[in-house]
Amino acid sequence: MTNQQKEIIVISRNFPPLGGVGTRRWSKFAKYLANKGYLVHVITIDYKYKDTVNWSHDVDHPNIVVHRLKSAYPNWLLRHRKRGFIAKKWFELVNLYYRSTSNWMDNAQGWEKELIPYVRNLIRKNGIRNVVVTAAPCSVAYMTSIIKVENPEINFIVDFRDKWNDEPQYAYGTAIKSFKRKEKSVKMELQTMLMADKIIVTTNTIRHNFSSIYKTCASKYITIHNGYDADDYKVDWQQSARNDMQLKLVYFGSLLGGQPEGLDLIYKAIRELNDPFFRESFRIDIYGVASAGYRNPDPSTCFFKPLIKSSEVATVLSQYDGGLSILEMKRSNVFATKVFDYMAMKMPILHVSNNGELYQLLEEKGQYVSNYNVENMKHTLLRLKQDFLDKKTPESDFEAFNIASHTQKLEKLFV
């Protein structure tokens, strides 16, 4: 890429000040690309709120130009915040209305009326070649495939943070009742794959799944994992002050779906071990919320705390002896974003999943992993305890997951 071609377009429906982990990936990439001299045009919605956890500080850069377009979907339905009972019911009713009165696919539909003409004009006005779209929402990737059809000369890069039609929210007969609607979704995915010049996925598992379906696109796939931004972690975990003899683990994020089963497993193993250490010198702090109706398995050693701002993560992590990562039994092939915080701090990780890509990676690094078998968990907890008492830590070199390294891989996809 020459200096004259350093403008790029990133279409990211979710972007700060909208919060949630879905905004983090391209906030970081935009920051690092801007630091390398790229003029990054980010196309997103005109979001009227500022969520508690967001990465606005990363995208406040003279080389990042944010274009905010009107969204057909109401802003307030996208807000990341706790809702009371009445607000939650109202939220559910409005969502139901949208799903039942439109050919519902996802909450980006309708945005194409603003998006496609605007991006088309920007491409032609500025002579931009590289256009990246990140999904979910997946319908935005399809919208961008239309832009590719109208502008064949662009280098159309799709970044899939998640899978598409084999995800539960697209399952026919449950999430999608209409066969025509499911058929449409599959055709949208097919067109997106065929039109894309490069297809980025966040795990090798997603890459394998896409390759099994869209075999003719195999040469387009590249894995660029999520990762950590070293700029966010100025506190050195190894030198932080933890002088007491209590083994403290931290968990960032919500415990939803089947994730609470992982926490229950830990405490079932502790009860069966009947080891005084885990009653007197062990605790888990969870910065997030659990599924409605979930009961704390041990209020004397497990504590739920409020969400914290992204700028506070490193300081909070430095107060703990290890990070806890839990994947649902049926979703053990994803990478929980929170695990990258632990990698960045080079701290021990206790990971629970039914094997999977992350499990294998952490196991190879000598971290503390267990599947959903209570005997395996007991063995892992005893090893964690002994290493804590012996002041031993496993390998902690995760430099391959530094966003700076990922950005170099991303740059190679540009023309």
| Nearest Cα to Cα of residue 311 among 237, 231, 248, 240 | 231
Nearest residue to 31 (alpha-carbon basis) of 312, 234, 228:
228
* Tokens coding 259: 């994730």
DSSP assignment string, 117-180: HHHHHHHHHHT--EEEEEESSTHHHHHHHHHHHH-TTSEEEEEESS-STTSGGG-BTTTB--HH
Contacts of 345 (CB under 8 A, 6+ apart): 233, 235, 237, 314, 317, 318, 323
Position 92 scores a pLDDT of: 74
- The pLDDT score that the predictor gives to residue 3 is 46
Domain 232-397 sits in CATH 3.40.50.300: no
Q: How is domain 3-228+404-411 classified at the CATH fold level?
A: Rossmann fold (3.40.50)
Give the C-alpha distances (Å, rounded to integers) separating 172 from 91, 105, 176, 178, 184: 24, 12, 5, 7, 11
Q: What is the pLDDT of residues 256-269, one digit of tens each?
A: 889 999 999 999 99
> What is the distance between the terminal CA atoms of the chain, rounded to a whole angstrom?
6
For the segment 309-347, what is each residue's pLDDT rounded down to a tens digit?
878 888 999 999 999 999 999 888 888 888 999 999 999
For 375-399, the pLDDT digits (tens) are: 999 999 999 999 999 999 898 889 9
- Mark the ranges of the chain whose per-residue pLDDT is less than 50: 2-3, 239, 241
> Which pLDDT does position 239 carry in this prediction?
47
Residue ranges, comma separated, of all CATH 3.40.50.2000 domains in the chain are: 3-228+404-411, 232-397
CA angle 318, 319, 325 (to 5 degrees): 75
User: Which residue type sits at 167?
Assistant: E
> How many Cβ atoms from other residues are within 10 Å of residue 331's Cβ?
16
Residue 269 DSSP one-character state: H
